[in-house]
Amino acid sequence: VSERPDNRHAIRHILGIWAGLTAIGVVIAVLSPGWLMPTAASSTMHLLILTVVVFSVAAAPVAALVYATALYALVRWRWRGEGVPPDGPPMRNNSVVTSVWLVASSLLTVFLLVWGLAALSTDDAGGGGVNPMTVDVTGQQWVWSFSYPGTKVSSFELYLPVGRKINFDVTSKDVVHGFWIVQMGIKINANPGVITTASVTPDKIGVYDIRCSELCGLNHAFMETTVHVLSDSAFNSWLKSQPSRV
Ligand SMILES: [Cu+2]
């Protein structure tokens, strides 16, 4: 089959559509996390939102190339003749397309890997390492409960001081649950008989959501509570006001 006479013309058109769709994709990638994602109440969550933005920006030209090619092919290369359409030239002999795609996808993959590993390594390190506080978290069908070691205080809503690193020791009394503080960007499984750990430094005073992120039975969807992030002094007076339970 001979080459199509309008190939160069078609490539220019596709590249034009690609540039336009890439621009739209980048705008959506930069703006939409602000509309769609919860407010950030920790540096972990800030990094998580930034990662979503950066990965979406990196994905925009790839998605745009697919859509540009598909749109152009649907509109301009539609088969209007009789019977089965003729096949085009094989792609595997096109060294330009193959090498550009190999290099571009390798660079993209390496970038995502390096970014992901770097983000993961800052996760545990996190600031506020001074005077960290441990909270025991217990999941059971279908409530969360929290106890504050060294105090004999426990609660069904979580109370935390702002700006201090919190280490969560998480476990379950029955089945597997998922301890998820939505606006702080941490999520860890709560397993029976095992303690899993997660750390975060709340950096914004306010009330945020805790949910179960692991399907755990009939009332899984209602297994939620709130976390109150207080100033240091407000947290201490809350702690003193609580009855001691053993
Ligand atoms: Cu659950």
Q: What is the pLDDT of residues 50-68, one digit of tens each?
A: 999 999 999 999 999 999 9
Give me ligand 1 centre to Cα 191, in Å: 10
- 39 CA to centre of ligand 1 in angstroms: 23
Longest dimension (CA), the chain: 86
Q: Which residues pair with 187 in a beta bridge?
A: 180
Q: How far is the CA of 148 from the centre of ligand 1 (A)?
A: 21
Q: Is the pLDDT of residue 92 over 80?
A: no
- Asked whether the predicted pLDDT for residue 246 surpasses 70, the reply is no
Distance 209 CA to ligand 1 centre (A): 14
Question: How remote is the CA of residue 221 from the centroid of ligand 1, in Å?
Answer: 8
- Cα of 200 to ligand 1 centre, how many Å? 21
**What is each CA distance from 183 to 50, 68, 77, 112, in whole angstroms?**
14, 36, 48, 23
Question: What is the CA(228)–ligand 1 centre distance, in A?
Answer: 20
pLDDT of residue 150 exceeding 60, the answer is yes
Of the two residues 139 and 81, the one the predictor is more confident about is: 139
pLDDT for position 5: 54
What is the signed CA dihedral for 186, 189, 190, 191, rounded to 10 degrees?
A: -160
In this prediction the pTM is 0.80
- What residues are paired with 65 via a beta bridge? none
